[in-house]
């Protein structure tokens, strides 16, 4: 009997790995729970070992995701190489990822860019690309790149809320949460 394929790996990346990328990690992991996808996160200048920033916790929790047990970690070339899909929170993060691992350029997107592209990917093509969410994660970078010409442009960066008020955190969360939902829905259906 052959072993099932290893779970697909999604890596979310922001700066400190305490606000935006852990929110993406935990929201996406909650939506994809029980599938063959693992979601993690890291920071380009991580506050290593720290928990999720306090104002982000209730926002993530209200969406049904847990922040318990989270510890920020530094982005490494190995983490990038192991990921099937890398989700950056800004264009700057995307550049830093590709600088570390140039070969990751074709599977690295900003979250908002990816959500915009996913909205133009033929759902049947994504479904046909794989029978499981993990197989679809592996197929998504090529399918998303293939619709760039029709997706147009739009916002690419999720604002960094660090040090801001609860309203600033809410605004940042409100930028990333719908994009996470778009991605999760596409992978699950």
Question: pTM surpassing 0.95?
Answer: yes
Query: 103-148, pLDDT tens digit by residue?
Result: 999 999 999 999 999 999 999 999 999 899 999 999 999 999 999 8
How far is 89 from 44, CA to CA, in rounded Å?
11
Query: 73-113, pLDDT tens digit by residue?
Result: 999 999 999 999 999 999 999 999 999 999 999 999 999 99
Instruction: Report the 3 state secondary structure along 78-123.
Output: HHHHHCCEEEECCHHHHHHHHHHCHHHHHHEEEHHHHHHHHCCCCH
Task: List Cβ neighbours of 138 (8 Å cut-off, separation of 6 or more).
Answer: 8, 84, 85, 130
């Amino acid at each position: 009997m052959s072993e099932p394929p290893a779970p697909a790996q999604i890596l979310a990346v922001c700066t400190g790995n305490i606000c935006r990328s852990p929110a993406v990690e935990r929201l996406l992991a909650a939506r994809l729970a029980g599938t063959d996808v693992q979601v993690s996160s890291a920071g380009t200048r991580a506050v290593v070992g720290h928990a999720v920033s306090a104002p982000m916790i209730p926002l993530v929790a209200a969406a049904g995701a847990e922040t318990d047990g989270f510890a920020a970690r530094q982005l490494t070339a190995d983490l990038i190489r192991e990921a099937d899909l890398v989700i950056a929170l800004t264009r700057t993060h995307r550049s830093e990822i590709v600088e570390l691992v140039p070969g990751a350029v074709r599977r690295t997107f900003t979250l908002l860019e990816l959500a915009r592209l996913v909205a133009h990917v033929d759902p049947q093509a994504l479904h046909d690309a794989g029978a499981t969410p993990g197989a679809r994660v592996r197929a998504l970078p090529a399918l998303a790149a293939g619709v760039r010409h029709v997706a147009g442009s739009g916002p690419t960066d999720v604002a960094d809320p660090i040090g801001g008020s609860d309203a600033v955190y809410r605004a940042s969360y409100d930028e990333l949460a719908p994009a996470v939902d778009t991605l999760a829905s596409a992978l699950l259906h």
